[in-house]
Amino acid sequence: MINLNYIPGDGLSLGVKKTGMNTTFSVAIGGTDEVLLKLFKEKADAVPAYTIKMDKRFRTGNIFSVTVKNFDMKGYTYLYEAKGVSFVDPYAHMISGREVYGKNLNKKARKLVRAYVWDTPCSMENDIRPNIDFRDLIIYKLHVRGFTMNTGGANKGTYKAVAEKISYLKELGVNAILLMPVMEYNEIYSNVPEPSAPEFVSSSFYNGRIDADQAIPENSEVLDPMGNSPEDLPYIKDSETKVNYWGYTSSYYFFAPKSSYASRPEQADREFKLMVQKLHKAGIEILMEVSIPKGTNRSMMLDALRYWVREYHVDGFKLNLDCIDSNLIACDPHLSSAKLIGNGWNTNEIYPTAYKPDSKTLGVYNDGYSVVMRRFLKSDEGMSGDVLRMFTDNSGDSINVNYITDHNGFTLNDLYSYDIKHNMANKEQGRDGTDLNYSWNCGEEGPTKSNKIRSLRLRMRKNAMAMLLLGQGVPMLFAGDEVGNSQGGNNNAYCQDNEVGWVNWKKTKSDSELQAFIKRMIKIRKEHPVLHNAVAHRNTDYLSVGIPDVSFHSLSAWAPDYNYYNRCIGIMYSGAYALKDHTTEDQSFYFAINMYWNEKTYEIPHLPKGYEWELLFSTEKTAVAEGEAVKDITLNVAGRSIAVLVSRKVAVKPPVKKEKVTEIRKEEKTPATEKKDSSEIVVTLKADELPASAKDKQSERKAI
């Protein structure tokens, strides 16, 4: 056994820091004068190979730090012990012992959950971030495991499998993915939690956790990711397991990628980095959803976000801001270029009056857009005003992130296949999940053989995607919606690590049609900056081009109808207010949105002289074919459908160039032998062939 050479560390950064052959361990613990660092050579070793006692000499404030000199730590795992309790480093960069997803660990296995001595095996120095403007993003939200479990292959359910789907994501047209929680956590609900830091550790989100060696009362509360009380979530017995598939829980190892999402768990950090590099090379940004438990230490949370940006080149985060200081994060210089998404930002405090960022980096993410559009699309009353406002809103110092469906609720297919939730598979007696789905089964609950209902459901899904992908806010698609993925009416599949929660990639004919439609909507959005305008709308003609930047209409042009019973909306964007490539004016757009159940006739607003409307697309057939000019001043729009017109220049035929001619008459004499009457024959001559006398007369006419 080699003797360790160690000295007090600087404690400048918590966790593990390697400098050549030197390794520094730092942990923040209050209320004690002594901390033990236990080093294990093999993952399965029950007894540490080395134990280092850190006393007051190793302490600065509440930070205990030691530097082990000239020793190869590769492959080692470690734990801390204080006051007789062992716990995992809250700043651990890799976790050992949770390599198999969904495995319920016994008491002995839980004691083997430890931190790896991080080795930084993969560099990001050659990675180039896409740096896409926030307003140009098309976000695709996915669960690493659920997105790829049905793809087949050895890497299914892993970071590698996500990277293997990059060509699909590119073809679809998205340029950013949002990952559901991928920071290490225990995905098993159990009556015995794994070892964790006790209350006296400064990282306060561990507070209140019970150590694995301690007895747990028979009626002990089981923590639930949805915040349900013990009465709502049945207590899990020793013989039972329930998987926290989504990953929203009360504690995480915020600095460690989830090892069971890697094909080689001991290299989870490397696989995550390779996935990021491949996404970036394809022009796709990566955002992470970070669920922050209540009471999380603010300094540690800020350290974690900085770490993922610096070490893994993550492009942004979705955060629950009610559990963290939003101003602290938004104003942090290390995160100034990261896209930060939350349920609301106080931009008046974040941005002083004299300062505005070059590009927006703050996104607002809530159910507002989803609820309004769902209600309007199923023909609820009193929604037209909110639809007009939300669909066209691009003002403020933050950006709206819009979605129709999310992980919490119906999939797009189920939104128009079910009136009520069907959650019995969750084993909570159907009490879980929201009852406010604003869904519509289109006439029959669940799968149907009726072609009429199938056709209506397809049209409703197209309507929803048009309202999402062509609205001014940043659109977010939920993985699988584009291929008709269904959860069988389950609107709260948080515990369904199976075919219910996984994306089903087997498409029907109608699903292929929807996927093609979504691709086209994304392509249209990318090609036309007027649909995600960088300049805030004023609803006026401030450029004096003849029409406002945005205007609202109804069945009558230039006359919006805010009547409670109105279900017909007209919206027009002027292309003069958005430039392609900073030089060329965009085309103008007109949206005729009819959510009545029968056909309606829209009066089409006039365009400036020299332009005409062309039908770009309609979610239901109209009398005008796609690509044809709309010559009439009206357009019939089918019930529950959307027609979109785009401006084009009127084709003007060039004038025919006529040569100058002059007509003269001369008398042709008929020979006496021919029996023909004398007549005047008209002869046409070019001007340069005219006799001198004729030229003189022509000159006289011109003079007159």
Those residues with Cβ within 8 angstroms of residue 63's Cβ, 6 or more apart along the chain or in another chain:
11, 14, 26, 27, 28
Q: Judge whether 96 lies within some domain.
A: no
- Residue 38 CA, chain-centre distance (Å), reads 42
More reliable by pLDDT, 676 or 502: 502
Q: What is the pLDDT of residues 212-236, one digit of tens each?
A: 332 223 333 333 333 333 333 433 4
- Dmax over Cα atoms in the chain, in whole Å? 142
**For residue 22, what are its two tokens?**
């030197």
What is the C-alpha separation between 553 and 600, in angstroms, rounded? 14
Claim to verify: residue 677 and residue 620 sit in the same structural domain = no
Q: Judge whether 554 lies within some domain.
A: yes
pLDDT at 200: 59
- According to DSSP, residue 617 is labeled E
Rg of the chain taking only CA atoms, in angstroms: 34
Can you tell me whether residue 665 is helix, strand or coil?
strand
Q: Which of 160-169, 248-257, 673-682 has the highest mean pLDDT?
A: 160-169
Element spanning 327, H or E: helix 326-330
- Residue 467 CA, chain-centre distance (Å), reads 15
Q: What is the pLDDT of residues 72-116, one digit of tens each?
A: 998 899 999 998 889 999 999 999 999 999 988 888 888 899 999
Claim to verify: residue 604 and residue 521 sit in the same structural domain = no
What is the C-alpha separation between 143 and 426, in angstroms, rounded? 19
More reliable by pLDDT, 598 or 653: 598
pLDDT at 5: 94
* CA nearest neighbour of 278 among 385, 59, 463, 127: 127
Claim to verify: residue 255 and residue 293 sit in the same structural domain = yes
CA dihedral 328, 329, 334, 340 (to 10 degrees): -160
Claim to verify: residue 170 and residue 291 sit in the same structural domain = yes
Q: Is the pLDDT of residue 25 over 80?
A: yes
Average pLDDT, integer, range 9-20: 92
φ/ψ of residue 38, rounded to 5: -105, 125
- Residue 10 CA, chain-centre distance (Å), reads 41
More reliable by pLDDT, 243 or 205: 243
Claim to verify: residue 289 and residue 161 sit in the same structural domain = yes
**Residue 595's CATH number:** 2.60.40.1180
Q: Is the pLDDT of residue 398 over 80?
A: yes
Strand (E) positions, 609-698? 611-618, 634-637, 641-649, 661-668, 679-686
Average pLDDT, integer, range 268-276: 96
139-142 and 176-179 beta bridge pairing: parallel
Query: CA dist 150 to 21, 457, 634, Å?
Result: 43, 25, 48
Amino acid at 503: V
φ/ψ of residue 447, rounded to 5: -55, 150
More reliable by pLDDT, 135 or 1: 135
Q: What is the pLDDT of residues 611-625, one digit of tens each?
A: 999 999 999 999 999
Q: Judge whether 36 lies within some domain.
A: no
Q: First-to-last CA distance in the chain? A: 120
Claim to verify: residue 374 and residue 264 sit in the same structural domain = yes
Q: What is the pLDDT of residues 502-528, one digit of tens each?
A: 999 988 888 999 999 999 999 999 999
Q: Is the pLDDT of residue 124 over 60?
A: yes
List the single range of 254-263, 298-307, 482-491, 649-658 with lowest mean pLDDT.
649-658
Q: Is the pLDDT of residue 130 over 50?
A: yes
Average pLDDT, integer, range 307-333: 93
Those residues with Cβ within 8 angstroms of residue 126's Cβ, 6 or more apart along the chain or in another chain:
277
pLDDT at 222: 31
Q: Judge whether 532 lies within some domain.
A: no
Q: End of a domain among 502, 527, 552? A: 527
Average pLDDT, integer, range 361-377: 97
Give me the half-sphere count of Cα atoms (radius 13 Å) on the Cβ side of residue 305.
Answer: 31
pLDDT at 661: 55
What is the C-alpha separation between 566 and 382, in angstroms, rounded? 7
* CA nearest neighbour of 211 among 400, 335, 296, 84: 84
Claim to verify: residue 692 and residue 641 sit in the same structural domain = no
What is the C-alpha separation between 148 and 137, in angstroms, rounded? 23
Percent of the chain residues topping a pLDDT of 90: 71
Q: How confident is the model at residue 240 (pLDDT cuts 50, 70, 90)?
A: low
List the single range of 278-282, 377-381, 521-525, 631-635 with lowest mean pLDDT.
631-635
Residue with tokens 């007159």: 704
How many domains, in total, are found in the chain?
3
Residue 673: which region, alpha, beta or left (left: phi > 0; alpha: psi -120 to 50)?
alpha
Average pLDDT, integer, range 557-576: 96
The average confidence (pLDDT) of the chain is 87
Percent of the chain residues topping a pLDDT of 70: 85
Q: Judge whether 122 lies within some domain.
A: no
Q: Are 76 and 39 in contact (CB under 8 A)?
A: yes
pLDDT at 109: 87
Claim to verify: residue 283 and residue 378 sit in the same structural domain = yes
pLDDT at 508: 86
Residue 327: which region, alpha, beta or left (left: phi > 0; alpha: psi -120 to 50)?
alpha
pLDDT at 158: 97
Domain range spanning residue 696? 661-703
What is the C-alpha separation between 168 and 8, in angstroms, rounded? 51
Q: Judge whether 51 lies within some domain.
A: no
Average pLDDT, integer, range 675-685: 44
* CA nearest neighbour of 32 among 64, 65, 78, 67: 64
Q: Is the pLDDT of residue 139 over 70?
A: yes
Those residues with Cβ within 8 angstroms of residue 676's Cβ, 6 or more apart along the chain or in another chain:
670
Claim to verify: residue 423 and residue 358 sit in the same structural domain = yes
Q: Judge whether 1 lies within some domain.
A: no
Helices then strands (H, E): number in the chain?
14, 34
Q: What is the DSSP string of 269-320?
A: HHHHHHHHHHHHHTT-EEEEEE---TT--HHHHHHHHHHHHHHH---EEEE-
Claim to verify: residue 519 and residue 426 sit in the same structural domain = yes
Q: Judge whether 210 lies within some domain.
A: no
Those residues with Cβ within 8 angstroms of residue 64's Cβ, 6 or more apart along the chain or in another chain:
11, 26, 27, 28, 29, 35, 54, 58
What is the C-alpha separation between 267 and 282, in angstroms, rounded? 23
Q: How confident is the model at residue 699 (pLDDT cuts 50, 70, 90)?
A: very low
Q: Are 596 and 379 in contact (CB under 8 A)?
A: yes
What is the C-alpha separation between 95 and 266, in angstroms, rounded? 8
Claim to verify: residue 342 and residue 258 sit in the same structural domain = yes
Query: CA dist 217 to 99, 110, 137, 228, 621, Å?
Result: 29, 19, 49, 19, 65
Those residues with Cβ within 8 angstroms of residue 61's Cβ, 6 or more apart along the chain or in another chain:
28
Average pLDDT, integer, range 676-691: 45
What is the C-alpha separation between 501 and 493, in angstroms, rounded? 6
pLDDT at 581: 83
Claim to verify: residue 544 and residue 629 sit in the same structural domain = yes
* CA nearest neighbour of 613 among 595, 594, 635: 635
Q: Is the pLDDT of residue 357 over 90?
A: no
Sign of CA dihedral 18, 22, 27, 30: negative
Q: End of a domain among 649, 673, 694? A: 649
pLDDT at 104: 86
Q: Is the pLDDT of residue 38 over 70?
A: yes
pLDDT at 658: 64
* CA nearest neighbour of 362 among 347, 377, 372: 347
**For residue 244, what are its two tokens?**
């926290």
Q: Are 690 and 671 in contact (CB under 8 A)?
A: no
Q: What percent of the residues of the chain are helix, what percent strand, and what percent coil, each to the nearest 5?
A: 25, 25, 55
pLDDT at 299: 87
Residue with tokens 């990282």: 203
Element spanning 611, H or E: strand 611-618
Q: How many residues does the chain have?
A: 704
Can you tell me whether residue 628 is helix, strand or coil?
coil
**For residue 9, what are its two tokens?**
């560390």
Those residues with Cβ within 8 angstroms of residue 649's Cβ, 6 or more apart along the chain or in another chain:
610, 611, 612
Q: Are 15 and 311 in contact (CB under 8 A)?
A: no
**Residue 423's CATH number:** 3.20.20.80
